[in-house]
Chains A and B, each alone.
Chain A
Amino acid sequence: MTAAPSDAAAQRAELVRVLLAVAMEDRDAFQRLYRLTSAKLYGICLRICGERQAAEDVLQDVYVQVWRRAGGYEPGRASPITWLATIARHRAIDWRRRQHATASLAEPGSAAEPVDPAPRAEAALLAEEERARIADCLEALEPRPRDAVRTAFYDGVTYAELAARDGTPLGTMKSLIRRALLRLRECLSDDA
């Protein structure tokens, strides 16, 4: 346990350095960034897109965005991997939204060819205390809202899809999730 935090700190420092170099349009640093982070980001794209071809296209788009936007990365604000993961997740979600726009009658639950049907979000993979906090706060929710928030996050689905999957009226699903989010917020901002 003593090694993990310093490893995490060293990795974070290394990623910050690499990202700053990418912000200076250092192509070698960009390649290094890709090698350090692509498995992580591809995992995110794959989980949300649910198919390999789309995940590859989205991942490429993510790195182009990173190349363009690295100058906007603020080391003091977010950890580099958080910043990258957020870009990857939203790009993947955007892809899903576009899919839905073109195939407006997508069957509920059809999006995920189950690449990893058992999300290991709460499995101990990261030593970051924030991870424990979100996991603990989710755990503290009632089962139904908890599952809804998890599904929304893991599958990148909209309120409309959530409601359809669950056979719940849209308005009910919305207020269920909203209440859960506000409760989560209380828990997350505790001693923050």
Chain B
Amino acid sequence: MTPDDQALAAELALGVLDGAELAAARARLAADRAFAAEVARWEEWLAPLALAFPETSPPAGLEARVLAAIDVPGAAPRAGWRRRGALALAGLAAAVLALVVGPLRAPPPPPVPAPTRPAAAPLLAALVVPAGAEAPGRAPLAAAVDRPSGEVRIAAATVPRGRSAELWAIAEGGAPVALGLLDGGRPTRLVVAQAQRVLLRAGTTLAVSIEPPGGSPGAAPTGPVVAAGALSEG
């Protein structure tokens, strides 16, 4: 990274570029990881200045507008398991539906009788790329565990062609236990076997490894761990 590169990254973060210079800097941002890291460094340095701008409450009506905007088709291009889940389970009991569609927060007062069993707090984990394992296509993954159903949901992961991504649970001080394979390129829902649900608690690490097709042939990960993080109370 030459001083010129450093200055360009700073100019991009500061926001002084326009026209062709801006387009070129953005293209470089997309293609050059070292440059992107330098820009990120500057964003982090500069952000506190923006955070010191006086807070101003937006008009009251804006919240409804914003909430409506995310319901517009195309606002969430990722295949949302909430919507897919809602469709797939439309015929099931209201209590189960509530767990799938709105498992992370108590649902608003429903038009039908409320579920008799309150949803247990979900467990959440941010699975980050371990130091030294950074590579194109590897990104942090969010995961959530719905304890009553034993369901683990993981954001879409990039899986190399011809390989499988396997999810592991590692209790504190314990050995990795395979939970299942991830769907490449889209969010995954896995229902953990009853016997393994004891692992789904705060402090357990979830990890994703890249394995031969079909998963690790043995009892432990064989490929690189591309994301890992501990579960905590949501």
Chain A interface residues toward B at CB < 8 A: 16-17, 20-21, 23-32, 34-35, 38-40, 42-44, 46-47, 52, 55-56, 59-60, 63-64, 67-68, 70-78, 81-82, 85-86, 88-90, 93, 97, 100, 116, 119-123, 125-126, 128, 130-131, 133-135, 149, 152-154, 156-160, 162, 177-178, 181-182, 184-185, 188
Contacts and interface: CB of A to CB of B under 8 A. Distances in A.
Contacts of B22: 97
A116 B54 contact: yes
Given A38-B63, A126-B51, A153-B15, A21 B44 contact: no
B116 to A, nearest CB: 21
A72 B139 contact: yes
Interface string B202-229: 0000000000000000000000000000
Contact of B45 (A27, A52, A121, A130): A130
Contact of B62 (A44, A56, A88): A56
A168 B43 CA distance: 27
Contacts of A133: 45
A59 to B, nearest CB: 6
Max chain B CB contacts within 10 Å: which of A47, A77, A85, A162? Answer: A85
A90 B81 CA distance: 30
Contacts of A24: 82, 104, 142, 144, 153, 155
B20 interface: no
Interface residues of B, number: 61
Contacts of B234: 17, 20-21
Contacts of A20: 124-126, 142, 144, 234
Given A21-B144, A181-B7, A159 B55 contact: no
B50 A44 contact: yes
10 closest residue pairs by CB, A with B: A131-B48, A28-B105, A181-B10, A23-B142, A82-B47, A39-B55, A42-B58, A158-B18, A121-B52, A75-B126
A47 B49 CA distance: 12
A25 B81 contact: yes
Contacts of A88: 50
Interface string B119-132: 00000111010000
Interface in B123-171: 124-126, 128, 139-142, 144, 153, 155-156
A88 B11 CA distance: 17
Interface in B47-82: 47-59, 62-63, 65-67, 69-70, 75-78, 80-82
A38 B22 CA distance: 28
B173 to A, nearest CB: 23
Contact of A60 (B62, B76, B155): B62
Contact of A77 (B40, B45, B53, B65): B40
B17 A158 contact: yes
A35 to B, nearest CB: 8
B56 A85 contact: no
B14 A134 contact: no
A102 B144 CA distance: 45
